Amino acid sequence: MERDGGPTTRSPAGQAAWAVPRRRGMRRWPVLLVLAIAFGLPAGFIMPDAGQLKSMVLPLPELSRAEAAATLPLPEPGGGPGAAASASLAAMPLPMPAPAVPARPPRETRVASMPPPGERGIGRPAGPSHLPDLIGTQAYWIESSGEPLTRQARDNRMGFIEMVLANKGVNNQPRRGRQLLVSAAHILPPGPRNGIVVNLGDQRLYHFREDGSIDTYPVAIGKVARSTVTPTGATAVTLKRRRPTWIPTADMRRRNPNLPASVGPGPHNPMGLFAMNLGWAGYRIHGTNEPSSIGKIVSSGCIRMYPEDIEALFEKTPTGTPVAIVNEPVKLGWEQGELYLEAHPPMEVATGWARGQRPDLPEPANLRERIGRMAGPEAGRIAWDMVKQALDERTGIPLRITRPAAATMVATPPT
C-alpha cells in the first residue's frame, strides 16, 4: 500500500551530487556562485532551488515501451540529441528498438502540450471534409498530488480506467510525488463524424460540433449484464432537462426494492443537474452525484459524465442531435502520414484488467484485415511486432505502428 506524505527516497548518486551539509554549503555557495558567473554558468547550476532538487532525486516509475513511445520527444529534422522537442502527437518516435528513456520529459514541453485551463473537452478545428483521425495532445507527465486517483483523473480530463491503463501498477491512492502519465490523445472511433458518438470500448464521448471542432469527454457506461449494458446503435437527443427528477426504472426496483419513488433536484440526485433523454426509452446522457464513477463500467445503462462536462455538452447540444453508440476497444487512425493503433481491454474484462487481472486476450477478429485496408498502399510499412505489443499491453495510448517510409518491409503479417 502506497502512503501519502512519505519521505522522498534519494539515490546514492543524488546524495553525492547534491546532499551538501547545510552549514558548509551556506559558507561555500557565494564562492561557487562567483565561479559560475566567471565561467558563464547559470546560478541554478551551482545552487538549485528546492523544486529543481526534488525533480533530480524523485524516484521514477518503470516505463513500458508503449509508454516511452508516447512521451519521448523527437528531435526536429536535422537536429542532434539536443534539438527542440516537437509537441505534435505525430512526432512520437517509433520505439523499435526500444529507445533510451530520459529521467523525466522537460516540464515546459509537457505544460505546452496541455489543453488550456478551464476547457474540459479537447477541441481541434477541422473542416467537415477532412476531419482528423486523432485529436488531443501528446501524452505528458504529472506529479501525483497524493489525492485519490479518481480525483486526479478528473483534474486531468480522464476517466478512472484509462488512468489506470496508462499507469500500470498504480493504486487508487498514489503517493505524493509519484510520476503519473496522462494520455491526452485519442483516436476517433469508426462511425459517423457528426453529432455525438459514444464509444463503449474506451469509455469516451466524442462531440462533433457544427463549427468543425471535436470535443471528447470520459464517461461511465452500463455494467456488463443483460439488464444494464448500454446498447449500441443510432438514436438522437429527444429532450433536454435542467435539474431533472430521477425516477427508478422497474428493473432497478426489482434489483433494489428499497429505492425511493423519485429523487428531486439536489445533491442526492443520481442524474446531477443536467440530463438529455435519448430516443431509447429509459436511456439518457446525464451528470452524476458520484464523480468518482466516471470512466468506470458501473451504471444501469445510462451514460454518466462529470458535472462540469455534462453542463458544457448540454449547452452545446440542441434537441435532435444524432447520437451513435459503438463498441470499439481497438482503434486505428492516420496522423501526418503515420498509422497509429490505440488498444483498450474489451469492456467485459476492463474492470478486472484495471485491478491487475489480465488474462491473455485473443486478437480481435478481422484486425489484420482492418489494418491492411487502413494502410492501403503503405501496408509494407506495418510493424506487426508493434501491433502485437499494443494488443498485449492495452495502455489506451495511441502507438505508432508504421515504420519509417524509407525502410523496406514485408507486407505479409506473421502467422
Q: Where in the sequence numbering do the catalytic residues fall?
A: 286, 302
Report the candidate in 120, 202, 190, 188 with the shortest Cα–Cα distance to residue 395: 202
Q: β-strand 134-136 against 185-187: which pairing, if any?
A: antiparallel
* DSSP three-state, residue 354: helix
Report the candidate in 368, 394, 389 with the shortest Cα–Cα distance to residue 94: 389
Separation between Cα atoms, residue 268 and residue 289, nearest integer Å: 6
DSSP 116-154: PTT--S------GGG--SEEE---EEEE--SS-HHHHHH
Q: β-strand 214-222 against 297-299: which pairing, if any?
A: parallel
Report the candidate in 213, 162, 123, 278 with the shortest Cα–Cα distance to residue 286: 278
Report the candidate in 218, 225, 274 with the shortest Cα–Cα distance to residue 246: 274
Separation between Cα atoms, residue 108 and residue 126, nearest integer Å: 27
Separation between Cα atoms, residue 120 and residue 215, nearest integer Å: 8
**Cell triple for residue 32?**
561557487
| Sheet containing strand 399-400, strands side by side | 330-335, 338-343, 399-400
Apex 143 CA angle, 140 and 144, nearest 5: 120
Q: β-strand 140-143 against 179-182: which pairing, if any?
A: antiparallel
Report the candidate in 238, 228, 253 with the shortest Cα–Cα distance to residue 304: 228
Determine how many CB atoms are found less than 10 A away from the CB of residue 268.
10
Rg (CA), the chain: 24
Report the candidate in 223, 221, 240, 398 with the shortest Cα–Cα distance to residue 326: 221
